[in-house]
Amino acid sequence: MLLADQRSAVVAACRDLLAAGLVRGTSGNVSVREQATGTIAITPTGVPYPGMRASDVAALAPDGSQLAGALKPTSELALHLAVYRDRPDVGAVVHTHSVFATTFAVLGEQIPPVHYLIVRAGGAVPVAPYARYGTAELAESCVRTLGRGFAVLLANHGVVAVGADLAAAMAVAEAVEYTAELAWRARQAGVPQLLDADQLAAVAEAFAGYGQPSGRDESK
């Protein structure tokens, strides 16, 4: 099966998003790009995640033409393709309708840096102007507002998170929702304290060395 690993990974990611409450029903969509060829595995439109199979996931050429998969790709295909065209560093796109982040999108407000995990998104998460879902206008608005960051809110719609690979994009989506929930809850009690640019830069530097070194022998 063409892009077998990537298509299976897309299904697993969708189920993880559903289990985490970051999507509801058939909302949201996920794609992964194979960097060597530029081919893309992307969720089909309107398919419930619990029953989705790897063979349902569309495999696309870089221009969006369908190479494999019996089902039509997501209605947000234009958005995914636009991100990949603009960002050679991006290997995966995760679009969610997570409740707290989408609340900020509905308010037309960026998610403020109330917690250091927002660094995964590149800092405060900006809001792209509203455009109807599935349109070229939405794709352009998303890419323009995303810039070199890793997350953007779509006004009155949801969240787009990107990363070098699917694990990184998923981590961004999770960090954005976590920070949005903290910001919302803190607002109910008072005025949240925000991290400044220097504090965020220090976190970004610390993140660069976070985790176990590559090549570590797990048997020791």
Tens of pLDDT, residues 142-152: 999 999 999 99
Asked if pLDDT for residue 27 goes beyond 50, the answer is: yes
Range 109-124 average pLDDT:
97
Q: What is the pLDDT of residues 47-103, one digit of tens each?
A: 999 999 999 999 999 999 999 998 999 999 999 999 999 999 999 999 999 999 999
pLDDT at residue 70, rounded to an integer: 85
Tell me the one-letter amino acid at 92: A
Catalytic-role residue among 34, 76, 174, 177: 76
Which of 46, 183, 161, 165 is closest to 104 using CA atoms?
A: 183
Distance between start and end Cα atoms, the chain:
37
Q: Pull the structure tokens for residue 17.
A: 């998003």
Q: What is the pLDDT of residues 211-220, one digit of tens each?
A: 556 554 444 4
Question: In the annotation, is 76 catalytic?
Answer: yes
Asked if pLDDT for residue 23 goes beyond 90, the answer is: yes
Q: Where are the beta strands (DSSP E) in the chain?
A: 29-33, 40-42, 58-60, 66-68, 92-96, 127-128, 151-154, 158-163
Asked if pLDDT for residue 157 goes beyond 70, the answer is: yes
Separation CA 196–CA 177 (nearest Å):
20
Range 164-192 average pLDDT:
97
Q: Pull the structure tokens for residue 126.
A: 């900006």
Sort strands 127-128 and 151-154 into parallel, antiparallel or unpaired: parallel
Residues 6 or more apart whose CB falls under 8 angstroms from that of 111 comprise 101, 104, 118, 121, 124, 125, 153, 176, 179, 180, 183
Architecture of domain 4-208: 3-Layer(aba) Sandwich (3.40)
pLDDT at residue 219, rounded to an integer: 40
Q: 217 vs 6, 59, 147, 167, 209, CA distance in Å?
A: 26, 35, 38, 21, 18
Q: Is 41 helix (H, G, I), strand (E, B) or coil?
A: strand
Record the pTM. 0.93
Separation CA 70–CA 1 (nearest Å):
12
Q: Is 52 helix (H, G, I), strand (E, B) or coil?
A: coil
Asked if pLDDT for residue 17 goes beyond 80, the answer is: yes
Asked if pLDDT for residue 177 goes beyond 50, the answer is: yes
Q: 155 vs 103, 131, 141, 144, 158, CA distance in Å?
A: 9, 8, 10, 13, 7
Q: Per mean pLDDT, which range of 9-13, 75-79, 130-134, 213-217 is the poorest?
A: 213-217
Domain ranges of the chain: 4-208
